[in-house]
């Protein structure tokens, strides 16, 4: 375990993660590790994230030096799993760690913009509540994907409600966000094939004012099941 002076020294010398090529997110698909492995790292307060600093890439704020400094027990430090595919720059998370909720609250970042009526803090708590029972390991990109799915549902609902009340400005804003969602990296990097095509179909339909196509989309049905979209 690092002492406080040793940690301060490592923080001072930590290199920022190389995220200059975010297209690397497109080169792999999501993989989960089923085998648990205990961590021996001591927990640190979330304030360490602020000490490490942040890196802004494509409009998103990312924790810097994530691979060099471990601040939570939930940070599994598993590295590449034998025989699996992993998503670059997405660390493994121990779902059974006692500080998992604190970890997610302190570190979750996303490209998504939330629609009116949605709260970042409430959405993070919802994701924490939905984590699989029984522990295990998962890449943090899964949580970003979940966040962005719900945000996308919110913008679909916002667009449909704006269309129903004849609010053209609100509908245009929502349509712009639905188009932006086709580039949100949590969604894009976990697409095993064909899912982003559905998101692009929704965006195109919203931009052209085609409410019937939006309502018929598999994305709309998923949002209904999640309780985010009305029937």
Query: According to the model, what pLDDT value does residue 48 have?
Result: 26
Domain contains 99: yes
For residues 103 and 165, membership in a common domain is answered with no
**Pair (76, 189) in one structural domain:** no
Give yes or no: residues 55 and 84 share one domain: yes
CB distance 30 to 88 below 8 Å: no
Q: Is residue 121 situated within a structural domain?
A: no
pLDDT at 89: 78
> 97 and 157 in one domain?
no
Cβ distance 196 to 184 under 8 Å? no
172/163 Cα distance (integer angstroms): 10
Establish if 125 belongs to a structural domain: no
Of 94, 96, 78, 92, whose CA–CA distance to 134 is shortest?
Answer: 96
* Residue 117 counted as domain residue: no
Q: Are residues 9 and 103 in the same domain?
A: yes
**Is the domain of 69 the same as that of 156?**
no
Render pLDDT for 99-113 as a digit per residue (tens, 0 to 9): 999 999 999 999 999
Torsion of CA 38, 43, 49, 50, to 10 degrees: 180
- Structural domain boundaries, residue 32: 4-109+131-140
Residue 136 shares a structural domain with residue 158: no
Residue 123 lies in a domain: no
More confident residue, 69 or 65: 69
Q: Are residues 136 and 166 in the same domain?
A: no
**Is 164 inside any structural domain?**
yes
pLDDT at position 79: 58
**Is position 119 within any domain?**
no
Indicate if 156 and 82 belong to the same structural domain: no
Assess if residue 126 is contained within a domain: no
- Bridging pattern class, strands 137-139 and 60-63: unpaired
Tallying the residues shown for the chain, one arrives at 231
Q: Are residues 135 and 152 in the same domain?
A: no
Beta-carbon contacts of 123 under 8 Å, excluding residues fewer than 6 positions away, are: 114, 147, 150, 151
Question: What's the mean per-residue pLDDT of the chain?
Answer: 74
Whole-prediction pTM: 0.68
- Pick left, alpha or beta for residue 65 (phi over 0 → left; psi -120 to 50 → alpha; otherwise beta): left
Residue range 72-82, pLDDT digits in tens: 888 887 655 54
Residue range 139-159: average pLDDT? Answer: 95
Is residue 156 exposed (0-12), middle (13-18) or buried (19+ Cβ within 10 Å)? Answer: buried
| Claim to verify: residue 72 and residue 171 sit in the same structural domain | no
Number of domain units in the chain:
2
Question: How many Å separate Cα 111 from the centre of its chain?
Answer: 8
What tokens does 81 get? 């799993």
Q: Same domain, yes or no, for 17 and 77?
A: yes
DSSP H/E element including 63: strand 60-63
Q: In the chain, what is the straight-line distance between the N-terminal and C-terminal CA atoms, in Å?
A: 53
Ramachandran region, residue 15 (left: φ > 0; alpha: ψ -120 to 50; beta: rest): beta
The tens digit of pLDDT for each residue in 186-206 reads 999 999 888 999 999 999 999
């Amino acid at each position: 375990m690092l002492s406080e002076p040793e940690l301060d020294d490592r923080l001072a010398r930590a290199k920022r993660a190389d995220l200059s090529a975010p297209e690397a997110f497109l080169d792999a698909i999501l993989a989960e590790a089923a085998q648990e492995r205990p961590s021996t790292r001591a927990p640190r307060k979330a304030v360490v994230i602020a000490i490490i600093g942040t890196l802004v890439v494509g409009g998103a704020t990312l924790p810097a030096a994530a691979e060099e400094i471990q601040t939570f027990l939930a940070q599994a430090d598993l590295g590449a799993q034998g025989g699996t595919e992993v998503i670059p720059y997405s660390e493994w998370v121990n779902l059974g760690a006692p500080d998992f909720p604190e970890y997610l609250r302190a570190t979750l970042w996303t490209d998504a913009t939330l629609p009116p009526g949605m709260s970042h803090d409430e959405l993070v708590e919802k994701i924490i509540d939905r984590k699989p029972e029984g522990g295990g390991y998962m890449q943090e990109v899964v949580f970003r994907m979940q966040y962005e799915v719900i945000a996308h549902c919110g913008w679909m609902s916002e667009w449909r409600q704006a269309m129903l009340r004849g609010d053209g400005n609100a509908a245009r804003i929502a349509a712009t966000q639905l188009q932006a969602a086709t580039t949100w990296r949590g969604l894009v990097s976990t697409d095993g094939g064909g899912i982003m095509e559905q998101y692009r179909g929704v965006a195109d339909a919203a931009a052209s004012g085609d409410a019937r196509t939006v309502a018929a989309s598999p994305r709309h049905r998923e949002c209904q099941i999640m309780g985010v979209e009305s029937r």
